[in-house]
Amino acid sequence: MSYYVVQGGQTLRGSVPISGAKNSVLPILAATLLNGGRNVLHNCPDLRDVRSAIQILEHLGCKVSREGDTVTVDSTVVDRWDVPHELMREMRSSVIFLGPILARCGRARLSLPGGCDIGQRPIDLHLSALRKLGTVIREQGGDILCEASDLQGRDIILSFPSVGATENTLLTATACSGVTRIINAAREPEIADLQEFLRKAGALVSGGGESVITVSGTTPRRDVEHTILPDRIEAATFLCAAAACGGEVTLTGVEPEHVGTVIQCLRDGGCAVRSAGRTITLLAPQRLGSMPTVRTMPYPGFPTDSQAPLMAAACTAQGSALFIETIFENRFRHAAELQRMGADIRISGRTALVTGRALHGASVRSTDLRGGAALVVAALAAQGESRVEALTHIDRGYEHFAEKLTGLGAKIQRRDD
Ligand code: EPZ
């Protein structure tokens, strides 16, 4: 089992490149099924979840190759329409393949994605939207069997701006006859990136990144070359690490406006943050000050994925900070591990009250992807040595994490038992 050994107490200095966004490359890899041609994707991070998505594409019949951060998918041949159980279990967000498989093959078979560490993760909004577009869905022994012989576009109102449900509906709608409007769509930047990819393939889509997305059913058939947008959550994680450890850090290859709410919190905590073009520079105070209440919301609100890393920074700050997690029902699991490092965190349902104090090194275990990153942030800021275990969670969403931190002066080493 792999783990990190971290010697805390180092300030972070220097610049760090931000990789392509996991939550953009996954739906775009799924969307490569649509054009039955060649898709060249640049700025693709090499992550566990990306490798799982590539395995699914190869299982379906695609040819996939990687050269550095460029992944090429040839979807000329797609001769299967199921996602194997083990791959669904490996990555629950594989449900994003449902729409494109349906659009390409007219049918799809997936096992119901289970819950995960941060919540039940139901897909009722996905399934109800696809049914309204004409998909016949049966559940059988934990699998969902879908038939879509005659998809008709129509208005789909999402009761919650679910990212995945927006993406699955958008991808299915490309195969509908007529016009589909997705109302109360998710507005995350990854949706606009997916729309950009689809437009290059020839789809007629508009409104991506806004609350109403309009799709005129035309099967996209053009080859695509596309560059994945930068990972705003990785960027937020490094900003929280710099704020917690002190020092001056510049992120390169990033979209500052996608990290605005996190930057505002850190500015409130006394950090000087300036952005220019595709760089963000954060100059941390000697000790982070208290921050206002952090309430996670759908984009453009504060991102739930940045809640854990910011909580880690708040653990060493002056004063108290209140976190309200409104998106997932079980997204404070990292708190118990942070408490092992001396953190003062009081949980009550979906709120966590953090009172800053000095942290000490400890042996801790990642509970989920962003919770694991939070433990690394805290270990970097703690006095003494920490051991962070269960790195498979972190490997899902952070590329070259230890190397990037080492480049900023952190003392962190990956070891295998
Ligand atoms: C995406 O997950 C991201 N994953 C998550 O990032 C992110 O936390 C989340 O959006 C919110 O921003 C990817 O893009 C691969 P949702 P998704 O559907 O699509 C409920 C990370 O750390 N819901 O917007 O699954 C759901 O239970 C990951 O990178 C339903 O009730 O998120 C949750 O409470 C974690 N029914 C809320 O909506 C549904 O059918 C938000 O879920 C769908 C969702």
Share of the chain above pLDDT 90, in %: 92
The mean pLDDT of 339-357, rounded to a whole number, is: 98
| Residue identifier of the C-alpha nearest atom 28 of ligand 1 | 305
Alpha helices in 202-304 (DSSP H): 232-245, 260-268
Q: The dihedral of CA 333, 336, 337, 338: what is its sign?
A: positive
- Using one digit for the tens of pLDDT, what is the confidence trace for 94-136? 999 999 999 999 999 999 886 677 777 789 999 999 999 999 9
Measured from the Cα of 161, ligand 1's closest atom is: 24
- Enumerate the active-site residues: 116
- The DSSP letter of residue 142 is T
- Using one digit for the tens of pLDDT, what is the confidence trace for 268-319? 999 999 999 999 999 999 999 999 999 999 999 999 999 999 999 999 999 9
Query: pLDDT class for 141, splitting at 50, 70, 90?
Result: confident
Measured from the Cα of 124, ligand 1's closest atom is: 40
Query: pLDDT class for 262, splitting at 50, 70, 90?
Result: very high
Task: Please measure the distance between the N-terminal and C-terminal CA atoms of the chain and give it in whole angstroms.
Answer: 5
| Residue identifier of the C-alpha nearest atom 37 of ligand 1 | 327
- Using one digit for the tens of pLDDT, what is the confidence trace for 199-215? 999 999 999 999 999 99
Query: pLDDT class for 42, splitting at 50, 70, 90?
Result: very high
- The DSSP letter of residue 229 is P
Q: How many Å lie between the centroid of ligand 1 and the Cα of residue 95?
A: 11
* Mean pLDDT value across the chain: 96
Q: How far apart are CA 173 and CA 305, in angstroms?
A: 28
| Residue identifier of the C-alpha nearest atom 1 of ligand 1 | 163
Measured from the Cα of 120, ligand 1's closest atom is: 27
Q: How many other C-beta atoms are found inside a 10 Å radius of the C-beta of residue 218?
A: 15
| Residue identifier of the C-alpha nearest atom 21 of ligand 1 | 305
Mutational test site, ligand 1, from 327, 350, 392, max ligand atoms within 8 Å of CB: 327
Residues 6+ apart with CB under 8 A from 259: 232, 235, 236, 239, 280
Show the tokens assigned to 46: 């090499």
The pLDDT value given to residue 219 = 82
The mean pLDDT of 40-56, rounded to a whole number, is: 97
| Residue identifier of the C-alpha nearest atom 13 of ligand 1 | 23
Residue pair 355/320 in contact (Cβ under 8 Å)? The answer is yes
Of 78-92, 175-189, 263-277, 322-336, which gets the smallest average pLDDT?
78-92
- Using one digit for the tens of pLDDT, what is the confidence trace for 147-157? 998 999 999 99
Residue 72 to residues 64, 67, 192, 382, Cα–Cα distance (Å): 6, 8, 21, 42
Mutational test site, ligand 1, from 48, 117, 121, 128, max ligand atoms within 8 Å of CB: 121
Q: How many Å lie between the centroid of ligand 1 and the Cα of residue 93?
A: 9
What does the DSSP assignment read for 311-342? HHHHTTSSSEEEEE--S-TT--THHHHHHTTT
Show the tokens assigned to 158: 């999402």
| Residue identifier of the C-alpha nearest atom 43 of ligand 1 | 123
Mutational test site, ligand 1, from 160, 193, 262, 393, max ligand atoms within 8 Å of CB: 160
The pLDDT value given to residue 412 = 98
Mutational test site, ligand 1, from 23, 26, 98, 295, max ligand atoms within 8 Å of CB: 23
Measured from the Cα of 118, ligand 1's closest atom is: 35
The mean pLDDT of 61-84, rounded to a whole number, is: 97
Residue pair 323/347 in contact (Cβ under 8 Å)? The answer is no
369-399 as b/e: b if 16+ CB within 10 A: bbbbbbbbbbbbbbeebbbbbbbebbbbbbb
Measured from the Cα of 121, ligand 1's closest atom is: 27
> Which residues' Cβ are closer than 6 Å to ligand 1?
22-23, 26, 93, 119-126, 160, 162-165, 186, 304-305, 327-328, 369-370, 397
pLDDT surpasses 90 at 255: yes
Global confidence as pTM: 0.98
Cross-sheet strand order for the sheet of 351-355: 294-295, 320-324, 351-355, 344-348
Q: How many Å lie between the centroid of ligand 1 and the Cα of residue 83?
A: 20
Query: pLDDT class for 217, splitting at 50, 70, 90?
Result: confident
Residue pair 55/48 in contact (Cβ under 8 Å)? The answer is no
The pLDDT value given to residue 222 = 97
